[in-house]
Structure 1
Amino acid sequence: MSYKVSTATVDELDNVGQLINDYVRQNLNMPQWPCSIETLKRDYTSGCFRMNVVYTHEQLVGFAAWIPSYDLHHCTHGAVFIDFYVAPAYRCQGLGAALLCAIALETTRLGYTFMRGSALSQRASRLYERVGVRFGVNEYNVSGKALRQLATLAGKSLREIFQGLPTKEMNYQA
Structure 2
Amino acid sequence: MSCAFAIRAATPADVPIIFQLIQALAAYEKLSHAVTGTEEALRQHLFSDRPYAQVLLAETTTETIGYALFFPTYSTFLTRPGLWLEDLFVLPAYRRQGVGTALLKAVARLARDRDYGRIEWSVLDWNREAIQFYERLGATVLPDWRICRLNGEALTTLGSAQGERG
Give the Å deviation of 1:29.
2.9
CA distance in 1, matches of 2:38, 2:140: 35
Q: CA 1:137–1:89 in 2, change beyond 3 Å: closer, same or farther?
A: farther
Aligned to 2:68, which of 64, 71, 76? 64
Structure 1: gaps of 5 or more residues: 140-174
Asked if the contact 1:25/1:32 (under 8 Å) is kept, the reply is no
Cα contact 1:21–1:32 (8 A) shared by 2: no
Offset of 1:88 from its aligned partner?
0.9
Q: Secondary structure at the match of 1:119?
A: coil
Paired position in structure 1 for 2:105: 101
Which of 132, 137, 140 lines up with 1:133 in the alignment? 140
Kindly state the Cα deviation for residue 118 of structure 1 after the two structures are TM-superposed.
1.4
Q: For residues 4 and 136 of structure 1, do their structure 2 counterparts lie closer, same or farther at Cα, with a shift above 3 Å needed?
A: same
C-alpha distance in structure 2 between counterparts of 1:20 and 1:4, whole Å: 19
Amino acid aligned to 2:117: T
Are the structure 2 counterparts of residues 18 and 137 from structure 1 closer, same or farther at C-alpha, using a change threshold of 3 Å?
A: farther
1:43 and 1:91 map into 2 onto residues whose CA distance is: 28
- The aligned counterpart of 1:82 is 86
Q: What's the counterpart of residue 34 of structure 1?
A: 36
The TM-score normalised by the length of structure 1 is 0.73
1:18 alignment partner, one of 13, 17, 20 = 20
Compute the displacement of 1:90 (Å): 0.8
Q: Tell me the distance in 2 between the aligned counterparts of 1:125 and 1:76.
A: 26
TM-score normalised by structure 2 residue count: 0.77
- CA contact 1:118–1:138 (8 Å) conserved in 2: no
| Deviation sequence 1:79-104 (CA, Å, 0-9, x none) | 11111111111111110000001111
Deviation (angstroms), 1:25: 1.6
Aligned residue number for residue 118 of structure 1: 122
| Structure 1 outlier segments of 4+, above 6 Å | none
Cα distance change of structure 1 residues 26 and 58 upon mapping to structure 2, 3 Å threshold: same
Give RMSD over aligned pairs: 1.8
Q: Gapped runs of 5+ residues in structure 2?
A: 147-166
Greater strand fraction, Structure 1 or Structure 2: 1
* Matches for 1:139-154 after TM superposition, within 5 Å: none
What are the within-5 Å matches in structure 2 for residues 149-160 of structure 1?
none
- Identity among equivalent pairs (%): 25
Structure with greater helix share of residues: 1
Aligned residue identity for 2:6: K
Equivalent residues, number = 139
